[in-house]
Structure 1
Amino acid sequence: MNQLKQTRRYFFITGLIALLTAVVLLVANRQIMFSSLVKQETRANRDMAHIYNNALWENYYTFFQQADELSPEAIKSHPTTRKLDAEIHRMMQNTHVMRLKIYSTTGKTIYSTAFDQIGENAKDDPGFISAMNGEILSSLSLRDRREDSFEDEAGEHDFVTSYIPMKDTRTDKITGVVEVYTDVSDLVSQFSAVQRRISVFTIAGLSVLLFWVLFSIRRADLALRKQEIKAKEHKEHVLELLQHAYHDSLTGLPNRKSFKTHMADAVVRASRTKSNLAVFFLDLDGFKLVNDSMGHAQGDEVLRLVAKRLQGCIRESDTLFRMGGDEFCIVHEHLVDKHDAIPLIRRIHGIMAEPFEIGQQMAMLGVSIGVAIYPHDSTDPEILLRDADAAMYAAKEAGRNQYSFFSQDMNERAMRQLNFESSLLQALDNSEFVLHYQPRIEVKHPDRVAGVEALIRWQQRDGTIVAPNDFIPVLERTGLIIQVGEWVLTEACRQNKVWQEQGLPPVRVSVNISFVQFQSGELVGTVRKALSASGLEPRYLELELTESILIDASDSNREILNDLKALGISIAIDDFGTGYSSLGYLKSFPIDYIKIDRSFISDLPADSRDAAITRAIASMAQELGIELVAEGVETQANLNFLTGQNCQELQGFFISHPLPANEMSSYLSRLKETV
């Protein structure tokens, strides 16, 4: 009897332990699922808040500042509040966001999708305090566990609440807090259903219970993974254009634009840890021969293979960049001294010594490497890059496929650069600059020239033609771009007027304006002077600006553009899609034309991503009423694809190479009809 009692007690205790274990597992599973849910939704809310911040900052910053001083009723009745409310509700469409609040830095609710909450103060709210300190705080609110009540439909939902800092897009300063409510009722319902099934099967025994616990965890994990995949796809869609701006389209590596930002951060890390870092400048030896003999397509494939090999021999803490052409850079961090860079140099030479197999052909390449060391050679990222470049040329001069550390006696190249700059200083006085003109035709009327782009060339006394990419950066660095830019404007206007006086059909002439020119404060006066001196009507002049100029939607930039438009000229965005992807300037500034960058055009229509981006830009331009120009049209396939899009004008080698002024005159005279 005692033995039976003991047996019963054993099974009772065992069953109780099993039951308690199952309960603990159920509770733990519930907490894990909800914790994962909160983390996932926090990331989604953060990304959504960043989108709101980028979209609303420029247009509503002033109102947000004013609203902090207004009464709740004044805020609710303010016209800007209604406009803001409409724009936010539009952005909330097709998302899980069910409510959104914006707090000022004092904690005042200056906007809420529930208007009755405008004016409330949340300065003591832990979420608000956390966000003002730069931290995101999120919590899950279940409808059956809330003590507070909601007067609207939110009371019938489970949701995740996130407090997210709102930052100035230019200074990164916290200017307020966004509180986002995300509806997670469906996921909570799924989790609850799983919990009920587990409870039922617990009665059947521990083995069945454990099976269903594992099964439910798997189901919850799949649900969260699906949610994560959706969030990732959304984020990738938003950042796709940014990828093109800061990454090389051929290799996928960070490009020259990314280098400057990355180096600034790397220098800060090296300074903080008292360590060295090395900048490697790599130039392929023999690539031109491969490119010329095998063709550009195979040359591009070689560059992709080179990038893959280089990426495979660096550490996670190192970063590889493609600087353009066959040039690459590596930022090699956490070094004790320069000798720590030698193992990586040997690995690079080792992997580059292996032949490259391209189809049925084999290619052999070498690589010349120049190395500059922080802080020994310089603490300035730009000087380190220049020093690494100089060391690379020293390696080439030593016989190619070599490496060289920068040393101060490498001044010969620096002297050559100084002589180059000196010659450039005299080029304007010696009338060595000339303009070539590349026509833009209308898509609907291919025999009609809509305009011509003025392109500067430097023809030295010995007849050598220096490519613009070699001397324009020097002009900008030395400030000579102001004088040369004024000459280009004056000459382009003069030549266009000459064509008109010769009886040739009038066309627009477009002139590229650099960032330095735009910021000089003299641009409006220079344009006015060029038009006056030439007698050219303003409607026949167009200025091409880059996105980097327009990204700063400051009052001063807006005033410059408005003053230029007041003269009667046209304004175009050049190389569209390659700059910072804030599209707010398209509605903030008086833009007449968008020129799609040639990097999106060259592989059309074969490259589906380029085709999708081109269609998207064309659709956007049509909706905004902005004329679209495609540059870099080099094949019939390019032209055929663009003809079917909302593209008004085409430019590129397939239509015509840039021509000297006299040849451009002949080109215009041969056409049957022009604008």
Structure 2
Amino acid sequence: MPEPGDTPGLADIARRWAAQLADTDGVALSSGDLERMLLSVAEEAYAQAATAKDAAIERFADLYSCSPVGLLLADEQGNVLDVNPALIELLGYQPDDLIGRPLTGLGATDSDNEALLSGFEDLRTMARSRQREPLELEHAVDGPLRTYVTIAGLPGDTPGTIFPVLMVEDVSELSLLRETLRKQNVQDPLTGLPNQRSFGNKLEATLAAPADDRLALVYFDIDGFKVVNDGLGPGAGDEVLRHVARKLADTFTDHDAFVARLSGDGFAVLMRGRFTRAEVVTLVEEAMTELAEPVYVADRGIGVSVSVGIVVRDATGGTQENLHRAAEITLHRAKENGRAQWMMFEEELDNRDRRRYGIGAVIGGALENGQFQLEYQPTVKLDGSAEVAVVNAVLRWNHPEHGLLNPEEFFPLADTTGMALSLGRWLLTTSMADAAEWHDEYPSAPDLCVRLPLRLAIDPNLVGIIRDQLEHTGLPPQKLRICTDAAALTDPRGEVLETLAVLADLDVKITLAVSAGSDLELIRLHKLPVGFLILAGPLIDALAADGPEADNARKHLIALLERARALGVKRIGAEGVHTLEHAHRLRDLGIIAGRGRLYGRAAPAPEIRTLIESNAPEHVRS
């Protein structure tokens, strides 16, 4: 770098200014002194400017070399002059591979090179920088590389010249991340099938497109998938899901079939075209056959069965929600009817099931809002006294839309929704409170019999609930009869046998509902503390008829009663007594009490209290 004093023209400028100032009035210095002074000032100013310039150059060089963004400097003709380390690492070239090349040849495709050329021309002719835009540049080894490129300019060596600068950002990982997120948004990561959201979008688009063909929506659900997951581990469960996905994708290939995994162990197929219901069923049965072949996981063959709900209808009209709901309900019907089978959507059954499920969905709110009520059905002695021996608690639902519902209309749904236990507890505690009031006022009031719903019968807290309620209400335990049946006794989920034994020790009476001779053998098998039997079913109904049917029923009932007495149970009643003649026939066989149409309908608590009062001894009523 030249010294300031050697800079061309600097001494001449100082000399000219010194001569001019020497002729100025008031200046006492000579021309030579002025020249030396001005030259000294110029040298100092020049040195400071040079220092600032060197510092700026050094800062730029550091920024250029240390920048994480790839930088490329070109000359006026657009040929590469220099590249920074970040760009070398980004594109995989050596500096000598790039220097001297036209920057407009760095693109991976013709369109990318055209974009670079256009940006260079804009910069050269209009001094306008090209904004950040996505381009693919050619990597030395890996081929096209996704980047964002900004084309800007730096002043050249002479006034009016511009040197192009390319700033290059690697967005390949960002693009990969976006693609991954996009796939996660529409694709199931385990099976590779479209996911539930993607299926919903496809269904919506299919329904929106006008056409005169047909649409089929098929829902699959793996039967007993929890057994596989819990028994063999989630790894085996995942392999089963992948197996089902492959089989469905291989089977459903026609009619623009769209196969998706919805959630858990549920899959769906959407088809559109000209086909019949029978053709869809054929494909479904083919898929079920393929899936029935075991899939082997660690040398263990896992059998797969599926329940299937099928909806086939015209492609036009309807909504996604209604179609989905129809397929779901049809699938539920297939599972309820025994699993491992397909069911076709039927309008009448769909309306029935929608009513049922609509009832089941609001049981919790109905219980909280007081829509349930208790009625009591009298059981009358058959000895001619017409004395009410027992009242049987019956739960009813005063539904605001469907009227008064019987237990068989809502208890199965309560089991499905998990509300059966709450309903059973309310039935038990409320009826015991009513019975305690009757007994407190009329000690001769009949016993209370409560037929426990299955979920309450197997509940491990049943003894505690009954003991607490006995203490709370003051109802004598011998005035309470708990009725159970074979389903509860053989259910593996509870400890019913221990519960009945403890209740019997509390002096609660145990009643067994019997519909066949096999039910009686449970008394012997489990040594049940049963004091009463209630007979119901075809044999009791048949005895009300005339002819051979009644004779045959009588023979079977005689044998059943003899077996009951042999097991030590002598107090036997019957449910479903229709006529006085029917009652006489039952009495002649040794049945001591009955309930049914002959003795009136079930009645609410106030009416039962009136009945008890009318049957109470005179001195108690007064």
TM range (shorter): 0.3 to 0.5
Larger relative contact order, structure 1 or 2 (CA cutoff 8 Å, min sep 6): 1
Larger Rg: 2
